C-alpha cells in the first residue's frame, strides 16, 4: 500500500477513486435534490449550469448533479459486486482446472472457450431484452456471470506454473490435502495478477454497465445510473451540452482511474518490477557495489 501511494499514477488513481466512493456514499446529503423529482418543468427545463444547479438540469427539469451522484452509487455498486462475483467464479474455476489438470482441465477450458466465443454485449442485451424487468441484483448477476471467463483463464495459467513449484510438492509431502494446497498455497500465489485483473475489470464493467443502460437494457428510469442519465441527455439533445458532458465525464474519469490503479497495482505487485526498482539506484550511481541490504549476513 505504501508503494502504491508512492507510485506516480497510483497515487492519483487512489485519490480519484476515494473521492468517487465518498461522493457516492454521502452524495445524497451533498445536494438537496434527489435527482428523481421534476422541479419545474417550465422554468427549469434544460437549465444550464448555475450556482443552484452546478451541472444544470435535464429535459424533465431534474437536477443533474444529484442524478450523477445517485448514478455513482448504482454504477459503482453494480460494478463492484459484479466484479467480485466474477472473480470468485473465475478464481474457483481456474484454480481447479489448473491444479488438477488432465481431462478435467481440458473439458473446463473448452467450456470457457465456448463462453468466450459469445459476444458479451450481445448476450447481455439479448438476456435483458428477454427478461424485460431487470432489477439491480439481477444486473449484478448477469454482469458477474458473464465476466469471469477471462479471469478463469488467467488464474488457470498462473496455477499451472505455481503448482509445479517444489513448495507444492513439499506441502503434499507434509501431508497437506488438495483443498489445503489450493487455498493455502496456490491462491495466495496467484492473488497478485488476480487483484490487478479485478481492478482493471471494474473499470471495464462500469463502461459496460453504462453502455447497457445507454442501450436501454441496463438500469431503467427513473433509477439514475450514469449510462441512463447519459442516454436521457442524448435522446433529447438540444444544445444542452452539460447534460451530456457531466455523466459522460463521470464514466470516463472513473474508468480511467480504475485502469490506472490496475496498472499501478501491476507495477507494485509484480516481483520482477520490485527487483528492478531496488537495483536501479545501485547501477545508476555506478559506485562500487556496496552491501545495501540491512539484514545481517549472519551465519546459517
Partner 1 sequence: MADPLLTVRDLRTYFYTENGVARSVDGVSFSVGAGETVGLVGESGCGKSVTALSLMRLVRPPGRIEPGSAIDFKGRDLVAIDEKAMRAVRGAQIAMVFQEPMTALNPVFTVGDQIAEVVRIHKGGSRQEAWRRAVEMLEVVGIPSPEQRAHEYPHQLSGGMRQRVVIAMALVMNPALIIADEPTTALDVTIQAQILELLRELQAKFGTSILLITHDLGVVAETVSRVIVMYGGEIVEEAPVEELFKNAHHPYTQGLLNAMPQVGHERDRLATIPGTVPPPTNWPQGCRFHDRCSYAWERCLVEHPPLYQIGETHTSRCHLAVEPDRRAQPHTPFVVQEASA
Binding site for partner 1 (CB under 8 A): 102, 165-167, 169-177, 180, 184-185, 188-189, 295, 297-300
Backbone angles phi, psi at 8, to 5 degrees: -55, -45
Q: How far is the CB of 167 from partner 1 (least distance, A)?
A: 4
CB of 108 to partner 1, least distance (A): 18
Coil, strand or helix: which one is 220? Answer: coil
Rounded Cα distance between 163 and 181, Å, is 9
How far is the CA of 24 from the CAs of 45, 49, 65, 73, in angstroms? 25, 21, 12, 5
Read off the C-alpha cell for 45. Answer: 427545463
Which phi and psi (to 5°) does residue 53 adopt?
A: -130, 85
Judged by beta carbon, residue 122 or residue 299, the one nearer partner 1 is 299
Q: How far is the CB of 177 from partner 1 (least distance, A)?
A: 6
**188 or 281: whose CB is closer to partner 1?**
188
Tell the smallest beta-carbon distance from residue 1 to partner 1 (Å).
16
CB 138 within 8 A of CB 131: yes
Nearer to partner 1, 119 or 275 (CB): 275
Positive/negative CA dihedral, 40, 239, 73, 85: positive
Residue (132 or 293) nearer to partner 1, CB: 293
Least spacing, CB of residue 275 vs partner 1, in Å: 11
Nearer to partner 1, 40 or 282 (CB): 282
Amino acid at each position: 500500500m505504501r508503494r502504491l501511494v508512492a507510485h506516480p499514477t497510483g497515487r492519483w488513481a487512489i485519490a480519484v477513486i476515494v473521492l468517487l466512493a465518498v461522493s457516492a456514499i454521502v452524495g445524497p446529503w451533498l445536494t438537496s435534490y434527489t435527482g428523481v423529482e421534476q422541479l419545474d418543468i417550465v422554468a427549469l427545463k434544460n437549465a444550464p449550469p448555475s450556482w443552484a444547479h452546478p451541472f444544470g438540469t435535464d429535459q424533465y427539469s431534474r437536477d443533474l448533479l444529484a442524478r450523477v451522484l445517485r448514478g455513482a452509487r448504482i454504477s459503482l455498486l453494480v460494478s463492484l459486486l459484479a466484479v467480485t462475483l466474477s472473480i470468485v467464479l473465475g478464481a474457483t474455476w481456474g484454480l481447479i482446472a489448473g491444479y488438477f489438470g488432465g481431462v478435467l482441465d481440458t473439458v473446463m477450458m473448452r467450456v470457457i472457450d465456448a463462453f468466450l466465443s459469445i459476444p458479451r454485449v450481445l448476450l447481455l442485451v439479448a438476456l435483458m431484452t428477454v427478461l424485460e424487468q431487470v432489477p439491480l441484483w439481477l444486473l449484478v448477476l448477469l454482469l458477474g456471470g458473464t465476466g469471469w471467463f477471462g479471469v478463469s483463464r488467467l488464474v488457470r495459467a498462473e496455477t499451472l506454473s505455481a503448482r509445479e513449484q517444489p513448495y507444492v510438492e513439499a506441502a503434499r509431502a507434509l501431508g497437506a490435502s488438495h483443498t489445503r494446497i489450493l487455498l493455502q498455497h496456490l491462491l495466495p500465489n496467484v492473488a497478485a495478477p488476480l487483484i490487478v485483473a479485478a481492478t482493471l475489470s471494474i473499470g471495464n464493467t462500469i463502461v459496460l454497465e453504462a453502455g447497457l443502460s445507454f442501450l436501454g437494457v441496463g438500469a431503467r428510469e427513473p433509477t439514475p445510473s450514469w449510462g441512463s442519465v447519459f442516454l436521457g441527455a442524448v435522446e433529447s439533445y438540444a444544445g444542452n451540452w452539460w447534460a451530456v458532458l457531466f455523466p459522460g465525464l463521470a464514466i470516463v474519469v472513473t474508468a480511467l482511474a480504475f485502469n490506472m490503479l490496475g496498472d499501478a497495482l501491476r507495477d507494485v505487485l509484480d516481483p520482477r518490477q520490485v527487483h528492478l526498482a531496488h537495483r536501479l539506484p545501485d547501477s545508476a550511481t555506478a559506485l562500487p557495489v556496496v552491501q545495501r541490504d540491512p539484514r545481517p549476513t549472519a551465519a546459517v
